[in-house]
Chain A
Amino acid sequence: MWFKNVLLGAFVLFLVLGCSAEKLDSKPTISIWHWMTDRDPTFQELAKKYETLTGVKVNFELYAPSDAYSQKIRAAAQGTNLPDVFGILGEKRDFASFIKAGHILDLTSYMEANNNSWKDSFFPKALAVNEFGPQNSYGINPGIFGVPIDIMTIQMVYNKKLFTQLGLNPNRPPKTLQEFLDIGAKIQAAGMQGLVSGWGEVWMIDCLANNYAFNLMGKDKVLATIKGEVSYTDPDWIKVFTIFKQMKDSGVLAQGLVTMINKSAEQLFANEKAVFAFNGSWCVNVYKGMNPGLEYGAMLPPEASDKYPIAIWGGAGSSFMVNARSKNKEEAVKFLVWLTNQDQQAYLAASTNNLPANKNSLSKIPEILAQFARGMDYATHPNVWGVSEFSLVIEAFDRGIQSIIIGEKTPEQVAIDVQRIKERELAKKRAQ
C-alpha cells in the first residue's frame, strides 16, 4: 500500500511541476546556426562571455560543410523551423526569397537608432550586401536585412620568395596585364607553376572575369549587359574572354587549373609550389595554418586597361540574419549589436585572421590583412548591383571560360554561346 502511495505522490508531484508556469525571470536562449568551421571556437568563447555579462545563453550550432548548411537552412525555412539567427549562403535572389517568405527581420530601425550608431560602425560596402535599395529589381521594400560579421576581398596573392628566384622585385608585383603575362615565360623557364585558384569550382572564374569586365568597359556597361541591353558578343566582352586565352598562352596559369579545387590551390600556394594565387582574404588564416613562414603579398588583379578602374569582389564576408518569426528576436538583435561592436570584432579578427566588419576594429590587424583591407576601396559585389544575371547565363559564361583555357573554344565562340542562352532566358522571362 505504501508503495502505491509513494507512486501516486510522485505522479502528482510530476504533474504539478510539469504544469507550473515558466519562471518569470528566466532568460531566453538564442539559437544561431552557422557554417564557419574556422570561427566556431571563437563564437563559442564569445557566447560564454555574453552569457556571463547578460545571463542570456547563446547556442552557436555549426553545420558544415557549407553545402549541407545551405540545404538545412532551406529545409528549415520550408518548415518554418529556422533558428533565431542564421546566415544565408547564396545569391541576392535567394536572400530576397527568404525576405519575401517572411523569414527575415528588417533591421533598418535598429541600425538607424541613436543617430545611426550601429549602422555607422560598419564598412558601408559590408552593409550594402545586406541592403535592398529603393526600386530594387527583387521587389523587396528598401531596408537592411542582415548584419555583417566580417568582410572579405578577393584578390591575387604572390609568393615573394619565388618572385626573387624569378629575378623579380618582391616588393613590386605586376600592375598591368602585360607585365603579368610577361612573367609567364619566366615561370615556364623556371619550371614553376603560375596562378592557382579554385577554378574547378567555377565561381572564382566568374569573379576574375567580372573584375576585368569592370576594368575594360566600366560598371554601367556590365550592368547594361545583365539587363539585356548589351550583348555578350560586344567587342569589350570578347576582350574579357580573350584575357583568359592570353593568360593560358603566356604560361602564367598553373597546369590543371580548370579542375583545381580551392583547397588544392591553397595547398600549392602555401607549399610554395605556385607563384600566384587568386583567393579571398580568408586565405590569410588558411596559409597561416599550412605554412606560418610563408612570405607573400596581396595585389589587385593586374589592369588590362586604364580606361576604368579594376574592381574586385568584396564586401560582407559572412552575415547573420534575424528570424522574423522568432520570439527571441529582440534579444537576438541585442546580441548581434554586442557581437559587432569594436571589442568583439577586434577579438574575432585577431583569433580568426578575418577582416572585421566594424571599421573601428581595423587598427590592430597584421600587414597582410591590411593589404586585403585596402582592397575594399576597389570592392564591389554582384549582391550590391541591384540586378542579377540569370544563373544559366553565369553557368555558360564560366564553363565557356573553362573551355577557352583548355583550348576547346575561342573567345568569340564562347561569346556567341553565352549570348544564345541569355536570349533564351530573356525570352522566357518576357513570356512569364
Chain B
Amino acid sequence: MKIRDRLENYVFVLPAVAIFSIFYIIPFIWVFQLGLFEWDGISFTKVFVGLGNFKEIFLQDVNWWRAMWNAGYITLIALTFQNVLAFMLAWACDREIKMKNFYRVIFFIPPVLSEVVVGMAWRFIINDIDGANIINRTLVGMGFPNLVHNWLSDPKTALTTVAIVHCWKGFGWGFLIFLAGLQTIPRELYEAARVDGASAWQSFRKITLPLMIPVAVLVAILTVLGTMQVFVLIVSLVGGEFAGHTSVPVLRILASMRGSSRFGYACAQGITFGMVLIVISFIQYRFSKKGQ
C-alpha cells in the first residue's frame, strides 16, 4: 500500500518533471554540449575543442566581460531606482487615495508595451536631430542649458540613459507584485499598532518592511533576470553596441552567432551567462533566507 501511495505521488509529479526536463534540462545539456565544439551553425560536422570556448570567454574575451559589466550596471540601477520607485508607488496606491485604480492601470501600461516601441518612442523623445529633443528643451526651459547634450550618442551618458528607459518600462511589474504583496498584509496589524500608539513611520518600518521582504526578494530576482537579458531596447535606442558602450551579454551572443558564425562559442557564452544568473539568484535567495 505504501509503495502504491508513493507511486501515485510520482505519477502526479511526473508531468511537471517531464516538461521541465524536455524544455529546460535537456536543451541546457545540449547547449552545453554544443559549447564544446567549434561550429558554424550550418555544417553537419563540428570540431571538438573541449573547454576551449569557455577558456576563451574567461581569459581572452574582453568584450564579453565589458558587456557583463554594462548589464550589471543597468541591473544595479534597476534594482535600486526602479524597485524603490515601484515600491513607493505600490505603497501609495495601497492606501486610500483618490483614483487609485486609474493609477494602477497607468503604471501598468509601460510593461505591456513592446520594447521596440518603447525604444523608438524614447529615441524620439530624447534625440535632437531625428527626434523631438524634449529632454534638452525641458532642460533649457528649466534654466539648465549647460546640461544639454546628445544623451544617446555620448558614451558617458548612453548606458545610463538606456538604464533609465529600461526602469521606466520595467517598474510596472514590480509595482504590481509589490501591490499584491502589500494587500496580503492583514489590516488588523496596522490597527493594533495604531492602538498601541505607533506612528505611521513605525508601522511602515516594523510591519510593512519585514513582511514585504519575501516579495522584495522575488522582485529583485525577477529584476536581475529580466535586466541582465535586456537587448531589444538597446538596439532600438542606440542601434547596437555603440563601440562597446552599450554592449550587453545577449548582444554579444548574437554577435557570435550572426556576425562571426561561431555557434559553438555562442552556446558557451549562453551557458556562462546562464550560470552567472543562477549564481546571482542563488546568492539573493540565501541572503533573503538569512534576513528572514
Q: Chain A: residues with CB nearer than 8 A to chain B?
A: 67, 70, 74, 77-78, 90-91, 93-94, 97-98, 100-101, 103, 193, 198-202, 254-261, 264, 267-268, 273, 391-392, 394-395, 399-400, 402-403, 406, 408, 424
The chain A residue with its CB closest to the CB of B127 is A256
CB distance B238 to A200 under 8 Å?
yes
**Cα of A202 to Cα of B152 in the assembled complex, Å:** 16
Instruction: Indicate if B158 sits at the interface (CB-CB under 8 A).
Output: yes
| CB < 8 Å neighbour of A259 from B152, B260, B261 | B152
CB distance A200 to B242 under 8 Å?
yes
CB distance A94 to B261 under 8 Å?
yes
Per-position binary interface string of chain B over residues 129-147, scored 1 when its CB falls under 8 Å from any chain A CB and 0 otherwise: 1100000000000000000
**CB within 8 Å for A402 and B242 given contacts A256-B128, A259-B158:** yes
| CB < 8 Å neighbour of B259 from A198, A391, A400, A406 | A391
| CB < 8 Å neighbour of A255 from B44, B129, B241, B262 | B129
Q: A74, A100, A256 — which one has the most chain B CB atoms within 10 A of its CB?
A: A256
CB A264 to nearest CB in B, in angstroms, measures 5
Q: A67, A77, A268, A391 — which one has the most chain B CB atoms within 10 A of its CB?
A: A391
Among residues 27 to 79 in chain B, which have CB atoms less than 8 Å away from a CB atom of chain A? 40-44, 60, 63
CB B39 to nearest CB in A, in angstroms, measures 10
CB A397 to nearest CB in B, in angstroms, measures 12
**CB within 8 Å for A97 and B40 given contacts A256-B129, A258-B153, A395-B259:** yes
Say which size band chain B's interface belongs to. Answer: 20 to 34
CB distance A94 to B42 under 8 Å?
yes
Residues of chain A within 8 A of B129, CB atoms compared? 193, 254-256, 268, 273
| CB < 8 Å neighbour of A200 from B42, B43, B155, B240 | B240
Per-position binary interface string of chain B over residues 234-261, scored 1 when its CB falls under 8 Å from any chain A CB and 0 otherwise: 0001111111100000000001001111
CB A192 to nearest CB in B, in angstroms, measures 10
CB distance B128 to A101 under 8 Å?
no
Residues of chain B within 8 A of A259, CB atoms compared? 152-153, 158, 237-239, 242
**Cα of A67 to Cα of B60 in the assembled complex, Å:** 28
Residues of chain A within 8 A of B243, CB atoms compared? 258, 399-400, 402-403, 406, 408
23 contacts across the A-B interface (CB closer than 8 A)? A78-B42, A90-B261, A97-B40, A199-B239, A201-B239, A254-B129, A256-B130, A256-B153, A258-B243, A259-B152, A259-B242, A264-B123, A267-B130, A268-B129, A391-B259, A391-B260, A391-B262, A394-B259, A395-B259, A399-B241, A403-B243, A406-B243, A424-B60
| CB < 8 Å neighbour of B239 from A100, A103, A261, A406 | A261
Residues of chain B within 8 A of A78, CB atoms compared? 41-42
Instruction: Indicate if B272 sits at the interface (CB-CB under 8 A).
Output: no
**CB within 8 Å for A100 and B43 given contacts A395-B255, A406-B153:** yes
Instruction: Indicate if B284 sits at the interface (CB-CB under 8 A).
Output: no
| CB < 8 Å neighbour of B244 from A100, A103, A399, A424 | A399
Per-position binary interface string of chain B over residues 146-168, scored 1 when its CB falls under 8 Å from any chain A CB and 0 otherwise: 00001011110010000000000
CB A382 to nearest CB in B, in angstroms, measures 14
**Cα of A98 to Cα of B43 in the assembled complex, Å:** 7
**Cα of A403 to Cα of B201 in the assembled complex, Å:** 50
CB distance A255 to B128 under 8 Å?
yes
**Cα of A202 to Cα of B258 in the assembled complex, Å:** 14
CB A97 to nearest CB in B, in angstroms, measures 4
